[in-house]
Amino acid sequence: MSWYHPADLGFAVRRKLADIGLGARLFGRLLRLFPAVWQRPGLVRDQVHFLGNYSLAIITVSGLFVGFVLALQGYYTLQDFGSTEALGQLVALSLLRELGPVITALLFAGRAGTSLTAEIGLMRAGEQLSAMEMMAVDPERRILAPRFWAGVVAMPVLAAVFSAVGVIGGWVVAVGMLGIDGGSFWSQMQGGVDVFSDVGNGVVKSIVFGFTVTFVALLQGYTARPTPEGVSRATTRTVVVASLAVLGLDFILTTLMFSI
Amino acid sequence: MQQSKNDVWVGLFVMLGVVALVFLALQSANLLTLNFQSGYRVTARFDNIGGLKPQAAVRSAGVVVGRVESITFDDKIFQASVTLQLQDRYAFPKDSSLKILTSGLLGEQYIGIEAGADEHNLVPGDVVIATQSAIVLENLISQFLFNKAAEGVPADSSK
């Protein structure tokens, strides 16, 4: 067995291409299952509860501390330029445009994505998915699609909560600890933040990340090897692939959205 | 449809997201100050707009009375043509003059209106020509150096 043998190389390339093809087909199928999912909203509701509500604690606490740190670091830098009043704008813009969607997506991949992968990988390992197919129940429709759309719903909500809590955290540090005037903190923020180009684009980003993270998690679980080791590898891959995809996509989205 | 206690929690979760978005839109963004009311448009010609940008404020006596809507270059007269949207409730005399000013030393640029004395007011579509361009630092420095040099010449020749 040598990896540079032409036949092995061809086999590896073919397998990669087949994986990509399978992923694309699954993604298209999940998108097309959107109307079917709402025929049983209870399934989506339970998944939103599982993915969203249980992630709220980690998202809120992280948002609060990111807001604290942003305000402190921003204050030390802005002090050199004598423009500490602009702190509100700095905190709000960093949170709404970048940190809110991106950190939420990374945490979401770690908190919710891994559990999705492990759950579906274990269903695969325990042959529950095959059993469903035997009973003429489509597992993509019954298992994957509700989880996919629940993730897409939960992610923007979590990102909005993260940004809002972060702004409040920034306010606590700036006005409470550093003694910046509260009026100028808010008015600078309102002067520099636009509803559509900043808040709106942040929401669009978080929706895109919701699609990305949930889909990566589901695909890794669905294609996991049906062994304990396979499931553990798939869970690791979910975090790695989803994080890299989010950071890469974020760069592309930022170039598209905020270039003049 | 079956009811479950998850309904309540998921409903709360989604409501929390909506509340967060409303908070962001109202408290940290400019939704309240967004200009939904219609104003009237006036065009102004400037020799040099410096760093003026669309959506910059138009102020009179420091109070925001409108926004810069668009900035284009007129290649017939080689001047910048700036379209301003002024709020309906403020009227200015026809001979009012416009200046491009800077808020603070390094702040953003805005347009200041100084009211004139004409009996007639600006109406939509008017063109204001009494304008003062933005101060460009390079021009200021070269002017300063030129004056210095001009001062220096007679002093040297008198020796």
DSSP-derived pairing of the beta strands B63-74 and B57-60: antiparallel
Q: Is residue B150 in some structural domain?
A: no
Query: Is the model's pLDDT at A75 over the cut of 90?
Result: yes
Higher-pLDDT residue of B116 and A57 is: A57
Rounded CA gap, A163 and A91, in Å?
10
Mean pLDDT calculated for residue range B7-35? 82
Q: Are residues A11 and A89 in the same domain?
A: no
- pLDDT for A2-37, tens place per residue? 667 888 888 889 988 998 999 999 999 999 999 988
Q: Which of A52, A158, A163 sits opposite B24 (nearest CB)?
A: A163
Cβ-based contacts of B33 with chain A (< 8 Å)? 190
Q: Are residues A162 and A132 in the same domain?
A: yes
Mean pLDDT calculated for residue range A129-142? 90
The predicted structure's pLDDT at residue B156 = 53
The predicted structure's pLDDT at residue B16 = 92
Q: Are residues A219 and A183 in the same domain?
A: yes
Chain A touched by B28 (CB under 8 Å) = yes
Q: Which of B10, B24, B30 sits opposite A160 (nearest CB)?
A: B24
The predicted structure's pLDDT at residue B157 = 52
Q: Give me the interface pTM, i.e. the ipTM.
A: 0.81
The predicted structure's pLDDT at residue B51 = 80
Q: Are residues B72 and B125 in the same domain?
A: yes
B36 to chain A, closest Cα gap in Å: 13
Query: Is the model's pLDDT at B123 over the cut of 80?
Result: yes
pLDDT band, very low/low/confident/very high, at B9 (cuts 50, 70, 90): confident
Cβ-based contacts of B32 with chain A (< 8 Å)? 190
Chain A touched by B24 (CB under 8 Å) = yes
Q: Are residues A220 and A194 in the same domain?
A: yes
Q: How far is CA A137 from the centre of its chain?
A: 29
Nearest CA in chain B to A150: B10
Mean pLDDT calculated for residue range A141-167? 94
User: Please, are residues B90 and B42 in contact by the beta-carbon 8 Å criterion?
Assistant: no
Interchain contact, A186 vs B28, CB within 8 Å: yes
Cβ-based contacts of B27 with chain A (< 8 Å)? 167, 186, 190
Query: Is the model's pLDDT at A187 over the cut of 90?
Result: no
Interchain contact, B28 vs A45, CB within 8 Å: no
Cβ-based contacts of A194 with chain B (< 8 Å)? 29-30
> Which of B9, B24, B35 should be substituted to probe chain A, the one whose Cβ sees the most A Cβ atoms within 10 Å?
B24
Chain B touched by A155 (CB under 8 Å) = no
- pLDDT for A224-244, tens place per residue? 999 999 999 999 999 999 999
Q: Are residues B48 and B87 in the same domain?
A: yes
Domain that holds residue B15: 1-34
The predicted structure's pLDDT at residue B159 = 47
Query: Is the model's pLDDT at A260 over the cut of 80?
Result: no
Cβ-based contacts of B110 with chain A (< 8 Å)? none
Q: Are residues B30 and B46 in the same domain?
A: no
Rounded CA gap, A98 and B129, in Å?
43
Chain B touched by A191 (CB under 8 Å) = yes
Report angle CA B88, B29, A92 to the nearest 5 degrees.
Answer: 150
Number of domains in chain B: 2
Number of domains in chain A: 2
Mean pLDDT calculated for residue range B5-24? 88
User: Please, are residues A97 and A197 in contact by the beta-carbon 8 Å criterion?
Assistant: no
Q: Are residues B77 and B103 in the same domain?
A: yes
Q: Are residues B92 and B24 in the same domain?
A: no
Q: Are residues A95 and A23 in the same domain?
A: no
The predicted structure's pLDDT at residue A63 = 95
- Count interface pairs A-B at CB distance under 8 A: 87
Q: Is residue B149 in some structural domain?
A: no
Cβ-based contacts of A193 with chain B (< 8 Å)? 28-30
- The mean of the pLDDT values for chain B is 82
Q: Which of A17-31, A219-233, B83-97, B128-142 has the lowest mean pLDDT?
A: B128-142
Rounded CA gap, B122 and B4, in Å?
64
Q: How many CB atoms lie within 10 A of CB A134?
A: 9
Q: Is residue B100 in some structural domain?
A: yes
Task: Give CA separation, A214 vs A18, A192, A226, in Å.
Answer: 21, 33, 20
Amino acid type, A153: V
- pLDDT for A163-176, tens place per residue? 999 999 999 999 99
- pLDDT for B31-68, tens place per residue? 666 555 678 888 999 888 888 887 788 888 888 888 88
The predicted structure's pLDDT at residue A82 = 78
Q: Are residues A72 and A92 in the same domain?
A: yes
Q: Is residue B147 in some structural domain?
A: no
Chain A touched by B33 (CB under 8 Å) = yes
Query: Is the model's pLDDT at B158 over the cut of 60?
Result: no
Q: Are residues B12 and B87 in the same domain?
A: no
Q: How many CB atoms lie within 10 A of CB B115?
A: 15
Report which listed range, A87-101, B47-61, B107-121, is most confident: A87-101
Q: Is residue B131 in some structural domain?
A: yes
Cβ-based contacts of B4 with chain A (< 8 Å)? 42, 45-46
A169 to chain B, closest Cα gap in Å: 13
Mean pLDDT calculated for residue range B127-144? 83
Q: Is residue B130 in some structural domain?
A: yes
